A and B are shown apart, each in its own frame.
Chain A
Amino acid sequence: MKVSVELNLRNLLRWFLALVLVWAALSKIANLHEFYLNIAAYQLPLPDALLRLTAIVLPWLELLCGGLLCLGGVTRRAALFWTALLFAIFVLATGQAWVRGLDISCGCLKLDFLGDGALAKFLESVKFAFFRALFLLAASLYVFRSAPATAHPTTGPT
């Protein structure tokens, strides 16, 4: 019974992570230049070429991870590894922006449907993005640690 509950929780978190990643990826792929500007606004001490490369590659890494999280076997564990690493980087990036008091949009998810009100501003703030990334990091680490190392007949693609 306990195993079943844990399995359901793991699968629920995995699908949630996949949904968030695909949503985030499509938001960025729609306008890569805008995403580059969003990254630059974080004022990270990184060379501009690396910022440009990140803007080009990161959305596709998110999209691949989101898709592969739905699959079983080794690819899922590899996708979980990248997912945890990405969220760890997001925690650091948003955390430093929050500490430095940067008044910027996190540039994480497309929330245009919420309009331009206070809720949209709050959800786009780096403070909220920091705690969201922290939760998603914890979720991805939990799923990674509890996921089987190899594909199992009963826990394959779901």
Chain B
Amino acid sequence: MLFMNATGLDSKTSVARPAIGILLAAVVLGVAYNSFSPLGVRAPRPEETSTVSAPSPAATIPSPPVPVAPPPAPAVPAPIPTPAVAQPQFPELKWAEVKTLLAQNKIVLVDARLKATYDISHIPGAISLPATSPAVELQAFATKYPKDTRFVTYCSSESCDMSLTLAQSLYKICGYTNVSHMPGGFVEYQTAEAANAK
């Protein structure tokens, strides 16, 4: 190792201890900061499923009259502005807009929640790609759709940030530049479709 050969055995031991100390300090500081930072790196969160059922169980919601968009969708010219390269801003869409685009097969709707949550209930036509997916899975996903495909991501509700996280991943890792998200998420869809069903 570098510090072993540079100045001999004495300096090896004298450098090794503080070097280990620096690493441990970096680990402690990094983990502590990450846990408080709103822009921190998040591990997969199985407990996210508990946020999905509000305001009512998903399975009890009648299926909305929305045609299913067969993925993969063809490349469609997109009126949504392309996000800036340095700090991409992902356009926010309401369910009413998403519903129309989905019916016209102009978007690929992506469910950013965990697969288990998706399996319980999801917006018809949506495909599952959890925001916590490892990079290798995102790269594999990127091979399935053309680069000009228009994506809209969603998660549970306004209170979750998984749709925005997935939008960033689709942009950064997969190289898609036409990505929007639906902040209202599954709850907005449920509420709107329940009102329509009355």
Contacts and interface: CB of A to CB of B under 8 A. Distances in A.
Contact of A64 (B3, B14, B22, B168): B22
Given A33-B165, A37-B169, A74-B17, 12 more contacts: A32-B34, A33-B168, A40-B173, A41-B173, A48-B136, A56-B40, A61-B26, A64-B25, A75-B18, A85-B2, A112-B87, A149-B7
Nearest to A77: B15
B56 to A, nearest CB: 32
- A-B residue pairs, 9 tightest by C-beta: A48-B134, A40-B135, A78-B18, A37-B172, A61-B26, A149-B11, A78-B19, A60-B26, A57-B30
B143 interface: no
A158 interface: no
Interface string A46-60: 011001100111111
Contact of B34 (A56, A64, A145): A56
Nearest to B164: A33
B104 interface: no
B59 interface: no
A149 B86 contact: no
A63 B25 CA distance: 11
Interface in A67-104: 68, 74-75, 77-79, 81-82, 84-85
A57 B37 contact: no
A81 B135 contact: no
A109 interface: no
Interface of B: 2-3, 6-8, 10-11, 14-19, 21-23, 25-27, 29-31, 33-34, 37, 39-43, 84-87, 134-136, 138-139, 165, 168-169, 172-173
Contacts of B168: 33-34, 37
A100 to B, nearest CB: 13
A32 B22 contact: no
A30 B87 CA distance: 13
A41 to B, nearest CB: 6
B41 to A, nearest CB: 5
Interface of A: 29-34, 36-38, 40-41, 43, 47-48, 51-52, 55-61, 63-65, 68, 74-75, 77-79, 81-82, 84-85, 112, 116, 120, 141, 144-145, 149-150
Contact of A34 (B11, B18, B39): B39
Nearest to B135: A40
A77 B3 contact: yes
30 contacts: A32-B37, A32-B40, A33-B40, A34-B168, A34-B172, A37-B168, A38-B172, A43-B135, A48-B136, A56-B40, A56-B41, A57-B27, A57-B31, A61-B23, A64-B22, A64-B25, A64-B26, A74-B14, A74-B15, A74-B17, A74-B18, A75-B18, A77-B14, A78-B22, A82-B22, A112-B87, A120-B86, A144-B6, A149-B11, A150-B14
